[in-house]
Structure 1
Amino acid sequence: MRILSLALWVLLSFSVAAEAPQKAAIASAHPMATAAGHKILSQGGNAFDAAIAVSSTLAVVEQQSSGIGGGAFWLLHRAKDGKNIMIDGREEAPAAAYADMYLDENGDVNRDLALYGPLAAAIPGEIAGFEHLAKYYGKLPLSVSLQPAIEAAEKGFPAYPRIIKTIERKAKVLKRYPASAAIYFPDGEVPKEGELIIQKDLAKTLKAVAKHGKAGFYEGKVAKKMVKAVQKHGGIWTLDDLKNYTVKEREPITTNYRGHQLVTAAPPSSGGIAIATILNILSAWDLTALKNDGNSPKRIHLITEAMRRAYRDRSIYLGDTDFVEVPIQLLTHPYYAAGLRAGINPTKAMPSELLPGINDNPKGEDTTHFSIIDTEGNLVSATLTVNTGLASGFIADGTGVLLNNEMDDFSAKPGEPNAFGLIGDDANKIEPGKRPLSSMSPTFVFSEDKVAVLGTPGGSRIITMVLLGLLDYFDGNDVHSWVNKPRYHHQYLPDKLYIEKGAFDAATIEALKAKGHEVVEHRGHWGNMHAVSWNKKTGEVDAASDPRTTTGSATVK
């Protein structure tokens, strides 16, 4: 699965490198971030420089979803040599972390400790990723690419409904910590729409990075302030934890589906393996024909059963490959998928409890994504996170850095669900220096005449949202259709088929129930997909942002 034939690889690499897009396209969650990326391109930067500008600006203006106190996966395609690589800036557990650190005296998970305050924070990786991108892939100095973010933090950005609602939801946690309250409750009140949110300390931290690179964050004054604040409020970070953090380059997961090559995220993301597994299972059926024949319930049923099996494997096998042996070649092999497919009844749902695996029944959309194509044909698909909305709620005094709560993405106890309802086993247990399993799934699709770049936030639903966007692409639809696609989701446990409000008509829902699915209609919508495409025959590029949120920005210049 992961090893393409030499002829196909040469064809695809040559096709992408031999032609160039007419314009650059960027789609992100906020117009200031999209504009920052285009500004850096206009100054002679490439897609990788623009990725730094977009990432760092989102870290200022969309802190409910990402930040320099969090981490990211940047999936890159370099046009000049066809190289695909994943930059792993995922957070990692501090050296003092241990498997049972969030269990109370009864052996139950203390969810407050796992989610709120500095004990919930893993060591951030985003800044290390910025330096790596600039040093090995970009054209411009890091200081240039960070300038739009510095200005946004220093001058402020207008508060908008999504961040206001997140501040309101998390008010009790944010008010625990003076530095957080000072930013998010100026004059003691939640910012009103249009009111500027100004972050002077964050601007100073970004300036330190612009001047000193990674060392400006992981060493020196900023590091000392962060560690002092963390330890004061019950956290376990040390200066050595910060100094020892390193970004990693990972070989992406590659797979083929209906004449297309997919390049997607590798562990510690679970997304690439899960997507490859699902597509391999589904390859035996002509899903487009089912859709065109009006047999949507059967198509949805088959896709749901494939989701169920991939998420079951996620819960058992997947973790940080630096710590556990993940059977990647097995899980992404067509023969393995054929075995999973053999257990699918085309007319009846299989209860998850009948699949071998973790059988404990467990009792958000707070990440961000952007996609870039530049005029050289370089590609970036990046998903960034601090985990839940406004993360741990803890800003380290004097730094402006909002710390993640990614420790909750580990399995705090086998079979116990995390904040997104995902369960895990020993492969994803807490260990010092280990990176928690993620669902982030930045993805490229290559064919002879087209290129697609897509991804989305959405917690446990990221994988299935990217999958549905891909299937819509394979059906022949354009980038605007992928991001608009109605969404549904099954994650093995709990054994329920979740759907967006209004995604299916009443007849389809009844047909799925008749097949044995417990259909749960969500009260609203989820996800925030941002995608770009390139027609290599015409040179035209296109970009689209999810209409489910009001701040998405997709532009072609």
Structure 2
Amino acid sequence: MTATPLTAWRLILLCCSLLLVAATTQADERPQPGMVAAAHPLATAAGVEVLEAGGAAIDAAIAIQAVLTLVEPQSSGIGGGAFLLYYDNATDEVQAYDGRETAPSAVETDHFLTEDGTPMDFLDAVPGGQSVGVPGTLRMLELAHEEHGRLPWKTLFQPAIRLAETGFEVTPRLAEMLRIDLPLDAFEPMAGYFFPDGEPVSAGMTLTNPALAETLTEIANHGADAFYEGPIADAIVATVQAHGGELTREDMADYRAVERAPVCRSIAGESVCGMPLPSSGGMTVLQILRLMEIASAETEDMTRLAWAHLLLEASRLGFADRNEYLGDTDFVDVPVATLLSEPYLTERAALISPTQSMGKAAPGLNDPDSAMSEAKRINHSTSHFSVLDTHGNAVSMTSSIEMPFGSRLMVDGFLLNNQLTDFRFDPRAANGRLHPNRVQPGKRPLSSMSPVIALDADNQPRLIIGSPGGTRIIGYVAQRVADVLMQDSGVEAAIEAGNMVNRNGRTEIEADTDAEALVPGLEALGHEIEVDSMTSGLHGIEHLPNGVIRGAADPRREGTVGRARPSSRAE
């Protein structure tokens, strides 16, 4: 049968439509530019190198963390722990990987009590073996790599091994941290490495670390087992025990990273996901954001002062619950569902007045008051990086050795953590009941690390962000997620804005920033203000609805953003 002119045109239009659909599908599946935002230029470069070789976000994360172990030893490393959120583009799901340190099997609840039963001074507890938990970072990275890695494990350590052998330039921040008023040169081999001839290394010097190169080579060739069993594990245990700790060979061999369900909540039409317990960050950030969202709906004139006030009041409420109820859910019961439920948060948001600060907030459930002691105001040392790979997968990872230079114990080229000091020193709360964050064998201490991945309505990554900063992390991250998702701020502008934090006490405002202009107005609303330097280390990636990818590194530190070209090796 011969087609009529009209039928022929319909066939032509149908063919064109099919070709357009095919072309669109092919374009959607085509690799996109990737991005890395990390705390050191060499770590960023390592991540970009891996992405451009066809690696997935988890491959880049491993390379980044290995380099950070070398070039940012004061903040994180393979001797510490980490939390990782992974967005899998194939399933549109966010997964949470827990690499938090665990307490040795021999510890008891009075681990940080003196002979007279009072809690140790924090700075007395940090140096030495008594503060060291079983490191978790490598087991966690290995677990995530087994599920999501594209490149061989062995190749991912090569950038760090090269740098450890040939040397890296000491940055001003590392040099400055070695000059803080803490006893950093008390133990060998840390003293000899960072304080040659009795003086701390200076910015611009080249530092090699052949011991770390050898350690990373073993891990690259034999997997995480090389760290948790064999000579490296023996050296860790011997060092910890020689300096008063109770870590054993069995504690090392028995460590397991855990994949957990993330905590997620709808905020401003986006699905915001964070780490579950023992990270208090995920839950508390979500509480703050939803409390703000509810309270701001009742505020007609949303000035910058009004916005800051609501953020800080929501933070009071979030921290009141954090300090009272949260701990490792493998050991204690925590009412997670209740604390994140809409009825509960609506009731709590009603306590926020737009015209007057509530002062110190009480926790919200009907339990006796037993709030933890005031958050430590000591500079914590942690690192965060964000990765978006060329296949659309994402990583938001925060890792730490806790205090600057951790426990001060160095083994085979890397520093060991002091994360046990994140437990509550006094095992009993104010009313005498056992506190959920008390020390227990095998338990993971409560953390404030708050990696976040927010997904848009199409379940694509909208924002990947996190920060170091001790308990201030929660405020740093909540402020930026609120600014980007609820105020349409760009990620760079949000990160550069002055920090504003309230940990259920004084309102802390970052000195010498635009936030200082809010101080008189906040004081008029009843806030007790403390102006101080606040060295966040926010690293974020924003994926706009129009497909544009933007990254930002916190100008308060030395981080950079790197863009990865789509790999020709991509599937």
Take 1:343 and 1:353, find their aligned partners in 2: how far apart are those partners? 9
Among candidates 401, 425, 434, match of residue 412 of structure 1: 425
Identical counterparts, % of pairs: 36
Partner of residue 329, structure 2: 321
Tell me the CA shift for residue 106 of structure 1: 2.2
* Change over 3 Å in CA distance of 1:386–1:337 after alignment to 2: same
Matched, 1:86 2:96: yes
Unpaired runs of at least 5, structure 1? 1-14, 418-423
Take 1:554 and 1:186, find their aligned partners in 2: how far apart are those partners? 33
* Change over 3 Å in CA distance of 1:203–1:556 after alignment to 2: same
Matches within 5 A, 1:131-170: 131-169=142-180
Unpaired runs of at least 5, structure 2? 1-24, 565-571
Give the counterpart letter for 1:215 in structure 2.
D
Secondary structure of the residue aligned to 2:369 is: coil
Q: Deviation per CA, 1:319-354: give whole Å up to 9, x if none.
A: 111111121111111111011112223222223166
* Change over 3 Å in CA distance of 1:416–1:255 after alignment to 2: same
Give the counterpart letter for 2:86 in structure 1.
L
Give the counterpart letter for 2:476 in structure 1.
M
Partner of residue 511, structure 1: 521
* Change over 3 Å in CA distance of 1:546–1:415 after alignment to 2: farther
* Change over 3 Å in CA distance of 1:234–1:149 after alignment to 2: same
Partner of residue 205, structure 1: 215
8 Å Cα contact 1:19-1:536 kept in structure 2: no
Matches within 5 A, 1:258-407: 258-286=268-296, 293=301, 295-352=303-360, 357-358=369-370, 362=374, 364-396=379-411, 399-407=412-420
* Change over 3 Å in CA distance of 1:464–1:360 after alignment to 2: closer
Partner of residue 477, structure 1: 489
Tell me the CA shift for residue 113 of structure 1: 4.5
8 Å Cα contact 2:218-2:226 kept in structure 1: yes
* Change over 3 Å in CA distance of 1:19–1:536 after alignment to 2: farther
Take 2:233 and 2:353, find their aligned partners in 1: how far apart are those partners? 55
Tell me the CA shift for residue 149 of structure 1: 1.4
Tell me the CA shift for residue 22 of structure 1: 2.8
* Change over 3 Å in CA distance of 1:19–1:546 after alignment to 2: farther
Partner of residue 63, structure 2: 53
Take 1:31 and 1:278, find their aligned partners in 2: how far apart are those partners? 32
Q: Considering only aligned residues, what root-mean-square deviation do their CA atoms show, in Å?
A: 2.3
Q: Deviation per CA, 1:109-143: give whole Å up to 9, x if none.
A: 22344211121110000111222132221011211
Partner of residue 215, structure 1: 225
Partner of residue 563, structure 2: 556
Partner of residue 10, structure 1: none
Among candidates 434, 445, 462, match of residue 436 of structure 1: 445
Take 1:234 and 1:278, find their aligned partners in 2: how far apart are those partners? 40
Take 1:371 and 1:53, find their aligned partners in 2: how far apart are those partners? 13
Secondary structure of the residue aligned to 1:435 is: coil
Take 1:441 and 1:21, find their aligned partners in 2: how far apart are those partners? 29
Matches within 5 A, 1:94-133: 94-110=104-120, 111-133=122-144
* Change over 3 Å in CA distance of 1:294–1:248 after alignment to 2: closer
Give the counterpart letter for 1:138 in structure 2.
G
Tell me the CA shift for residue 36 of structure 1: 0.5
Partner of residue 457, structure 2: 448
* Change over 3 Å in CA distance of 1:472–1:69 after alignment to 2: same
Among candidates 460, 474, 489, match of residue 471 of structure 2: 460
Among candidates 526, 541, 553, match of residue 532 of structure 1: 541
Take 1:360 and 1:213, find their aligned partners in 2: how far apart are those partners? 39
Among candidates 436, 446, 450, match of residue 427 of structure 1: 436
Take 1:144 and 1:360, find their aligned partners in 2: how far apart are those partners? 45
Give the counterpart letter for 2:537 in structure 1.
N
Tell me the CA shift for residue 286 of structure 1: 3.6
Give the counterpart letter for 2:438 in structure 1.
K
Give the counterpart letter for 1:160 in structure 2.
T
* Change over 3 Å in CA distance of 1:171–1:369 after alignment to 2: same
Take 2:464 and 2:80, find their aligned partners in 1: how far apart are those partners? 23
8 Å Cα contact 1:270-1:438 kept in structure 2: yes
* Change over 3 Å in CA distance of 1:425–1:458 after alignment to 2: farther
Take 1:462 and 1:221, find their aligned partners in 2: how far apart are those partners? 36
Tell me the CA shift for residue 548 of structure 1: 1.2
Partner of residue 546, structure 1: 554
Give the counterpart letter for 1:428 in structure 2.
N
Q: Which moved more, 1:439-448 or 1:25-34?
A: 439-448
* Change over 3 Å in CA distance of 1:401–1:288 after alignment to 2: farther
8 Å Cα contact 2:289-2:482 kept in structure 1: no
Q: Deviation per CA, 1:504-551: give whole Å up to 9, x if none.
A: 5676322222222101100x23201011122353x32121101112x2
Q: Deviation per CA, 1:232-279: give whole Å up to 9, x if none.
A: 221111100000001100111100012111111111101111111112
Matches within 5 A, 1:175-214: 175-214=185-224
Secondary structure of the residue aligned to 1:369 is: strand
Give the counterpart letter for 1:281 in structure 2.
L
Take 1:408 and 1:113, find their aligned partners in 2: how far apart are those partners? 10
Secondary structure of the residue aligned to 1:69 is: coil
Among candidates 233, 242, 245, match of residue 235 of structure 1: 245
Take 2:473 and 2:35, find their aligned partners in 1: how far apart are those partners? 22
Tell me the CA shift for residue 416 of structure 1: 8.7
Tell me the CA shift for residue 462 of structure 1: 0.6
Tell me the CA shift for residue 306 of structure 1: 0.9
Partner of residue 76, structure 1: 86
Tell me the CA shift for residue 314 of structure 1: 0.6
Take 2:196 and 2:314, find their aligned partners in 1: how far apart are those partners? 48
* Change over 3 Å in CA distance of 1:113–1:361 after alignment to 2: closer
Tell me the CA shift for residue 55 of structure 1: 1.2
* Change over 3 Å in CA distance of 1:25–1:425 after alignment to 2: farther
* Change over 3 Å in CA distance of 1:536–1:513 after alignment to 2: closer
Take 1:304 and 1:312, find their aligned partners in 2: how far apart are those partners? 12
* Change over 3 Å in CA distance of 1:18–1:439 after alignment to 2: farther
Give the counterpart letter for 2:435 in structure 1.
D
* Change over 3 Å in CA distance of 1:528–1:184 after alignment to 2: same
8 Å Cα contact 1:542-1:556 kept in structure 2: no
Give the counterpart letter for 1:300 in structure 2.
A
Take 1:353 and 1:139, find their aligned partners in 2: how far apart are those partners? 48
Take 2:105 and 2:277, find their aligned partners in 1: how far apart are those partners? 21
8 Å Cα contact 1:170-1:393 kept in structure 2: no
Q: Which moved more, 1:445-454 or 1:528-537?
A: 445-454
Take 2:332 and 2:515, find their aligned partners in 1: how far apart are those partners? 44
* Change over 3 Å in CA distance of 1:425–1:548 after alignment to 2: farther
Tell me the CA shift for residue 483 of structure 1: 1.5
* Change over 3 Å in CA distance of 1:361–1:386 after alignment to 2: closer
8 Å Cα contact 1:456-1:530 kept in structure 2: yes
Q: Deviation per CA, 1:175-196: give whole Å up to 9, x if none.
A: 2212111211123321121111
Partner of residue 503, structure 2: 491
Secondary structure of the residue aligned to 2:178 is: helix
Q: Which moved more, 1:146-155 or 1:75-84?
A: 146-155
